[in-house]
Amino acid sequence: MNTTPQVDTTELSDADLELVSGGQAGGPAAGLDLGVHAGAGALGVHGEAGNLAVTAGGGASLSAEGLAVNGHLHAALY
């Protein structure tokens, strides 16, 4: 007996996928894409222009043990 869970799959059109994923902010005609993501105690920014991508983010959390802060910056050339 096969006890592997079965999951139905379906195809999504590009338009439906944009509605689910939130799409891209920015001007595709200008070759610039920008996204901002925020959560509890965190903020992130991702931008692409031509073949260059830059991602930056930071976060902070406070607990009984103290304050923890982090940040990062990544750049990629395609």
User: Is residue 66 included in any domain, yes or no?
Assistant: yes
User: Cβ–Cβ contacts within 10 Å for residue 65, how many?
Assistant: 7
pTM value?
0.50
Evaluate whether residue 43 is within a structural domain: yes
Domain presence at residue 40: yes
Total structural domains in the chain? Answer: 1
Over range 41-54, report the average pLDDT. 87
In this prediction, residue 49 has a pLDDT band, given cuts at 50, 70 and 90, of confident
The pLDDT score that the predictor gives to residue 26 is 47
Contacts of 51 (CB under 8 A, 6+ apart): 77, 78
pLDDT in tens, 9-35: 778 787 777 666 655 544 454 567 888
Q: How many CB atoms lie within 10 A of CB 56?
A: 14
SS3 at position 31: coil
Q: What is the mean pLDDT of residues 39-48?
A: 88
Structural domain contains residue 49: yes
In a domain, 25, yes or no: no
Q: Which domain holds residue 74?
A: 34-78
Please report whether residue 9 resides in a domain: no
- For residue 75, the model assigns a pLDDT of 93
**Residue at 5 is within a domain:** no
- pLDDT for 70 beyond 90: yes
